[in-house]
Amino acid sequence: MNNDTFNHLRVLNLEGNQIEHWEEVNKLGQLPSLEQLSLYGCGLKNIQVKEKSFSKLSKLSLSNNKISQWQHISELDKLLMLVDLKMCGNQGLEVPSNETFTQWIIARVGNLQILNGSEILSVDRRGAELDYLKYNGREYLTALSQLRSSTEHKAGGIFIPFILAINSWCKLQRGTKGISKKLPLTMEVQKLKVLIHRLFELDSSELNFFSYSPKNPGLYIPLDNDLRPLSFYSVEDGDIIEVKNSSV
């Protein structure tokens, strides 16, 4: 087979070949036309993508391998054209739940549009990234340049902490004034603003809302869409919502 044939190769299936190490896969990275690659059941233990390799690869199957570290999944973000990924059956990747497994892959591979045959909607990506940041907040605070630090949030202006409980009673407090209310996580941000206005006589149009978890102090997530429910921002039992004047 001559080099010209390889240069026009678009689809390659290596299913079942015991490759084990990604160094062997990297040898395919300079194929200029390769768009689809199946490495199903190849016994792969790692992923280490070379920069500027696999320039046209858009579809990749890595199911039923032996990948066990999440930093290897992050390597796939170097595949700039990758939009369709199959990643089932890698039992060594530890996660709290199957749902979390899907979310963490979406959060780590920025260009994905399809994962394990399911389309990734923009709302799915937003939720996955928020959940991922929340779970791994301490490690990824430096990546959140768009979010203000805890000190900035609390410096001057209006500061109102809200302790939330899922579909249960929560305490709304401003200074020494406290009121208990039942806030379901289906409540939209807009309705929460109306509630704040009624309880504390504040102009919600001049307020910014942020949620954070005591588990990850300093990791603030802006509640930036009035039409989204609190659950969209992964607010959970024991989380805190802070409100401050937007002019500060």
Diameter over CA atoms, the chain:
80
Per-residue pLDDT of 156-214, as tens digits, reads: 333 334 444 333 344 444 444 455 566 677 888 888 877 777 766 666 676 778 887 77
Arithmetic mean of pLDDT, 31-51: 95
pLDDT-derived band at 3 (thresholds 50, 70, 90) equals low
Is 109 strand, coil or helix?
coil
Please answer whether residues 208 and 222 qualify as being in contact, where contact means their C-beta atoms are separated by less than 8 angstroms: yes
pLDDT recorded at residue 202: 65
Q: Work out the pLDDT band at 14, boundaries 50, 70, 90.
A: very high
**CA–CA distance, 38 with 82 (Å, rounded to integer):** 13
Q: pLDDT band for position 137 (50/70/90)?
A: low
Question: pLDDT per residue over 51-94, tens digit each?
Answer: 889 999 999 999 999 998 888 998 999 999 999 999 998 878 88
Token readout for 124 is 């799915």
Q: Under CATH, to which class is 3-120 assigned?
A: alpha beta
Where along the chain do its domains lie?
A: 3-120, 150-245
Surface-to-core class of residue 35, CB atoms within 10 Å of its CB (0-12 exposed, 13-18 middle, 19+ buried): middle
Which residue would you say has higher pLDDT here, 44 or 155?
44
Give the pLDDT band (50/70/90) at residue 128: confident
- pLDDT, position 157: 33
pLDDT of residue 106 exceeding 50, the answer is yes
Distance CA 86, CA 60 (A): 6
Domain 150-245 has CATH 3.10.20.90: yes
- What pLDDT is stored for residue 24 in this prediction? 94
pLDDT at 1 exceeding the cut of 50: no
Would the pTM count as exceeding 0.85? Answer: no
CA pair distance 33, 29, nearest whole angstrom: 10
